[in-house]
Chains A and B, each alone.
Chain A
Amino acid sequence: MQVNYWNVMVAGKTTTSHYKEISIAEFFEKNRHILGFDSPQRSLFMIVKEALDNSLDACEEGKILPEIYVEVSRKTGDTFCITVRDNGPGIERLEIPRVFGQLLYGSRFHAVRQSRGQQGIGITAAILYGQITTGESAKIRTKIAESDTGFEIFLQINVKENRGTVVSEKPVIMGQDHGTEISITAKGKYQTGKQSIIEYLRETAVVNPNMNLTFMDPDGQKTVFRRSTEMLPVPARSIKPHPLGLEPGEIIGLASVSGEKSLRAFLTGEFNRVSDHIADEILRVSGIDGDLSPREMKAETAIKLRQVFGTVKLMPPPVDCLSPLGEEFIRRGLKTIYEELHPAFYSKPVKRPVSVYNGNPFSVEVGIVYGGEIRGDDQIRIIRYANKVPLLYQGGACAITRAVSEIDWRPYGMDQKQGIGVPFGPMIILVHVFGTRVPYTSESKEAVAAIPEIIEEIKLALRSVGRGLRSFMNRNDRKEKANEKFNLVMNIIPEIGKKCAAILGRNEPNIDRVISLVANVVFINEASSRTDDGFDVTVKISNFTTEDRTFELYAEPVFGKIEGNAKWVIPPILSAKSFELKFKLLVGPERYPGVDYYTTGINPVLVHGAEPLPGDWSLREEEAEEDVQ
């Protein structure tokens, strides 16, 4: 039996006779703004968001590639019907009233684990909002694979008793093996623009590149975000709460539903990182009797315990309870959604190691796209995510925005006034904060609270992608210079020789020696051509130095995979001669993504078109230049 300890707390408060007991549903009815239903525009958005979060969580749990359909249709002027359909595992018939009709009902409430929704408020609040504003029941259709038919249920929420009431139900044949569809009729206002449903869906698509999402707007216009990978996300494992992650009241709540007989067993059995040895120490330091029944825990005991938790040496919580987006998802997502802007640079996404704030493990991931047709005269765009959910509102109050503003971006090549504030330039930054309990500024979960540990981690991740951006810019500069020099020795000087010869009526002069003198570099430049499954790449290596050269060359594609070994030993190339090698780059049907080349075994100053192999970076460039002179 699932009982929610918060409910117990609510009930506990109302024992004093002159207080009238109100249910959490009643409370919401009167205070809907707390959950984000505070304006007609926001309300439609919240309904879509809650239903979509549920669908994605369900698919992720069922290890299913999400196929999701979202529709907002207009019934009358200010009344809309929102439908969200998924191909998730579906819901057992008997669970439906509780899953959808009871606030604070969660299937995994004690488990500490990262998920999109955290407290089981969302979808019920959405249904309740619809019910309050239009009087209409929510329509739910769901089917599990094990069952022959699906069910269609009209559901109302009994506000007084905080539970769902089935108004009508019938078995239906559904066109899919499993999945859930929910339709909610509610009053609201459909809005387009920066903080709109379509933007939310777009940003959701960025971090869910394994999802197919179709959206039908009130004008009947269809938008499809296509899946770009079939990878499943990294699953999060449930863990027990870490002692430092709970407040005294939560400790009491946990104790009151614990099946353990003694406080000692409660400590070792219900908490993470509490061994017998640690439990003994906690009890000894706190002077609490370990044989007490946890169900009878008093407030002062809980307060004392919480205090002692902070003094004993506890290991930080394990980190596999987190589910990052991962490098591939961030790259793919950014690439698919922003490809039409033809960015010049996609950073290698950065994920910070797991940190802990208040006993709650969390981490940060960051990815950037830069250049191309992204607007450059404006402040950069920050797309914020918490536990894979886009945050559209309250950007100014968010730890993510703060971290971006507190970094001096100028050394990384961005415009910023006095090194503070959101920088200007053609860039989109994706920041994902994820953890077992991401702290929000409010219940409507629109901004990450400015916890110093979190801001610090975001900044470290941002600096790391910033360095990548800077080296991209440097590399670009160098490439441009290399191309100029290449043009000089390949085109202009030969042309001068030819023209002089023509004027004088002589044979063309032999310019090899002059070219070696002028260039004194080894050029590495590539040409690519499309094939069915990728690109054929030809790399031409020209030795325009005065000596023979040999070295090793490595190739690393920005996207995709090189067929075979991407490492070559280049045989000695004579002065003023060149050498060609070819390889195949396997990538999807897209533009040529670019290949980074690295060399080793040659002074990097002599090489244009490739970087020194990262292992060789100890050879500082100044030294190398002296070497050449």
Chain B
Amino acid sequence: MCSEVKKTLESMVEAIYNALDGGEVPEIRMSSRNRDNIVLDQISSVWKYGESKVSRSLRTIDGANYVLKNIYMIDFILEMLRDGKSSTLREMYYISEGWGKGKFGTQDESDLMAEDLEVITSLIREDFRLRPEENGASIIGDITIEEKSRKGDFKKINCKDDVGEAGYTIPNNVESEKLRLKATNAKFVLALETGGMFDRLVENGFDEKFGCVLVHLKGQPARSTRRVLKRMNTEMNLPIYVFTDGDPWSFRIFGSIAYGAIKTAHISEYLAVPTAEFIGVSASDILNYDLPTDKLTDKDIAALNAELKDPRFQTDFWKAEIETMLQIGKKAEQQALAKYGLNYVTDKYLPEKLGEVGGIR
């Protein structure tokens, strides 16, 4: 794998070198990474980048600076591969201080370029030995995994019996060389947006009572969290249900789990779970359960309108939900269900909603 990554990156550099030497203006072409260029892949049912391409050439200052920084980044990755090291994205951003003209202005710029490099090379960030600085989210439930320890041996962990109340923390790298999914007695996975709801369900023993694995998403889920969900879905045949707040940003959280995110559409096949089900809080839930609400802000309204144009939300369900939310002008948190008492969500709401989608029979 390592030598393959090296070969791919070096061939990119070689292409630029050859163009320069041959009197042709070098350019880097890649898929356009915006909303208008994501299309549904019929085979995998996830959203991927389409045909539209962008090119960065040495003809312009911006293009040339991009290429220069890209080459510096490749050099840095090749060095890590050679030395068997890895670094966080943040570390790379700081290391670029020493790259002269190749230095990055902001960490956003370097993070984005690392993703660009994935798009260009069809490799993934793990191949580049670049990782985010934050860990993934937490898991509680009857699932047994093996994680490679620092000593190099695999350690078996049951996410119900071998962890504390905070659960098992998903590491940055969840590929099989680091993490193996061994066995489970659970019937489904319930992914939760907020920590408050995760704690509520743990305290009420929801996982044991209904035989499920609880995953705390921590807001917009990290790549490794989504990757774990994908693996639990494909390797263990566990259905994924997503329970979020009822606002436009939560719709996007579900969208990125089920359909893939715009920023990472090149790896949607690794990350997205097309069969994931949304179980609320939806705009209809706000009406049906008469939930306490907040008014939509201008930003919320803009986000909803953007979702109406988002190809991933063009189903009847989502169009109706988004339009309803715009119409009532209200949003609600998961915790709004506490209006009916602390146990309402575990005793009434979730069994009802999961019953509708077939999670609880």
Contacts and interface: CB of A to CB of B under 8 A. Distances in A.
Interface stretch (B40-48, B61-69, B208-216, B246-254): B61-69
Given A484-B61, A496-B58, A518-B58, A503 B21 contact: no
Interface of A: 484-485, 487-488, 491-493, 495-497, 499-504, 506, 509-511, 513-514, 517-518
Contacts of B26: 496, 514
Interface string B17-38: 1011101111000000000000
Given A492-B65, A492-B68, A514-B58, A500 B25 contact: no
B7 interface: no
B20 A511 contact: yes
Interface of B: 10, 13-14, 16-17, 19-21, 23-26, 58-61, 64-65, 67-68, 71-72, 74-75, 78, 100-102
Contacts of A517: 23, 25
13 contacts: A484-B61, A488-B64, A492-B58, A492-B61, A492-B65, A496-B58, A496-B71, A499-B75, A500-B13, A500-B71, A503-B71, A503-B78, A514-B58
Contact of A503 (B13, B25, B65): B13
Contacts of B21: 509-511
A503 B58 contact: no
Contacts of A501: 17
B25 A509 contact: no
A504 B58 contact: no
B7 to A, nearest CB: 12
Most buried by A among B24, B64, B78: B64
Given A496-B67, A509-B20, A503 B74 contact: yes
Nearest to B75: A503
B152 to A, nearest CB: 31
Contacts of B19: 514
A513 B20 CA distance: 8
A506 B61 contact: no
B71 A499 contact: yes
A514 B18 CA distance: 11
A514 B61 CA distance: 14
In order of increasing CB-CB distance, the 3 nearest A-B pairs are: A513-B23, A509-B21, A500-B17
A514 B25 contact: yes
A138 B20 CA distance: 86
Contacts of B64: 488, 492-493, 496
B20 A504 contact: no
B101 A503 contact: no
B23 A500 contact: no
Given A487-B61, A503-B10, A518-B58, A496 B16 contact: yes
A501 B100 CA distance: 17
Given A493-B58, A500-B71, A506 B101 contact: no
A180 B221 CA distance: 88
A228 to B, nearest CB: 41
Q: Which of B65, B71, B75 is most buried by chain A, counting CB atoms within 10 A of its CB?
A: B71
Among B21, B61, B78, B101, the one with the most A-chain Cβ atoms within 10 Å of its Cβ is B21
A492 B21 CA distance: 15
